Amino acid sequence: MNKPLTHGTLLGSFLKDRRAKLDPAAFGLPAERRRTPGLRREEVAQRANISATWYTWLEQGRGGAPSADVLDRISRALLLTDVEREHLFLLGLGHPPEVRYRKDEGVTPRLQRVLDKLEPSPALIRTAIWDVVAWNRAATAMLTDYGALPPDQRNVLRFIFLDPNVRAAQYGWESVARFVVGAFRVDAARAGATAEVETLVAELSRLSPEFRAMWSHNGVSSYGEAVKHIRHPVFGPLAFEYSAFAVDGRPDLSLVIYNPATPRDAAKIAAAMDVASAR
């Protein structure tokens, strides 16, 4: 009779499968004949700095609930990918691990093609600390010429608080700024980007008294779906329905799309893109 599928048995099966896929020679272990492929349980336990008995119990589905620290050490011992590590935590603890923020690694060509296909809707990809790392031509024409800026200056909070042109484009700047600060606080905390946030907040607090005051209020907000109004310096008032989406496999990135709210707004975007292309 088959064993019932429980979190313990699923966890054990997952661990055994990943252990069998590892090459002992890659770890400098003896290459003598082995009864089963992969590493031995004792070898994984040693790499994870846990007892062989405890690890064996986990594979047998009778070890009880492991701690997050133990699962993290096992994930490193088994060389798990981020997706596999998340799956390990879901099986072992019933929830994903804390997000490990990683600095900008750029975006894949596939993601850039997605942005390009969204035109004429301006679209961009930003990190958890709101650095813009990719964008399409429509975003350049309607929002900011990100490509003309150094990478460390392509930050949404910097634009809102330090760029007079971006500030002038906002209807109700103070309300927009408070919303951005609150949504930024939530995203950065969710991503575990404490060190990066401290550096950015310290700089903005020094350069902008308004940011310093808003940050001290500890407000939070959700960046979901809404309508954004801007004043374009050439084409006048525009309205966008914006939405933010998580990027699969990259919890540190978000895709933000600004769909023109009316056909008239879409026509203005197309005209702005034509002007930009003619330069």
Q: Scanning the structure block, which residue is given the tokens 């209807």?
A: 171
Q: How far apart are CA 127 and CA 209, in angstroms?
A: 24
Q: What is the helix, strand, coil percentage profile of the chain, to 5?
A: 55, 15, 30
Q: What is the pLDDT of residues 21-42, one digit of tens each?
A: 988 888 888 767 777 788 889 9
Query: Helix or strand or coil: residue 273?
Result: helix
Q: How far apart are CA 188 and CA 72, in angstroms?
A: 22
Residues 6+ apart with CB under 8 A from 23: 38
**What is the rounded average pLDDT of the residues 95-113?**
76
Kindly give the interhelix angle for 82-93 and 7-20, rounded to the nearest 10 degrees. Answer: 150
pLDDT for 252 equals 78
Q: What is the mean pLDDT of the chain?
A: 87
pLDDT for 5 equals 46
Report how far apart, in Å, the C-alpha atoms of 264 and of each of 4, 15, 170, 214, 271 are.
Answer: 60, 57, 19, 35, 11
pLDDT for 7 equals 63
**What is the rounded average pLDDT of the residues 102-118?**
84
| Structure tokens given for 8 | 């313990």
Q: What is the pLDDT of residues 169-217, one digit of tens each?
A: 999 999 999 999 999 988 888 777 777 888 899 999 999 999 999 999 8
Q: What is the pLDDT of residues 222-247, one digit of tens each?
A: 766 678 899 998 899 999 999 988 88
pTM value? 0.71
Q: Is the pLDDT of residue 62 over 50?
A: yes
For residue 114, what pLDDT band results from cuts at 50, 70 and 90? very high
| Structure tokens given for 131 | 């650095």
Report how far apart, in Å, the C-alpha atoms of 186 and of each of 72, 111, 127, 133, 208 are.
Answer: 25, 24, 13, 19, 21
Tell me the Cα Rg of the chain: 25
* Domains, the chain, ordered by start: 7-93 (1.10.260.40), 109-278 (3.30.450.180)
Q: Which amino acid is at 21?
A: K
Q: Is the pLDDT of residue 218 over 60?
A: yes
Q: Is the pLDDT of residue 74 over 70?
A: yes
Phi, psi at 258, each rounded to 5°: -115, 95
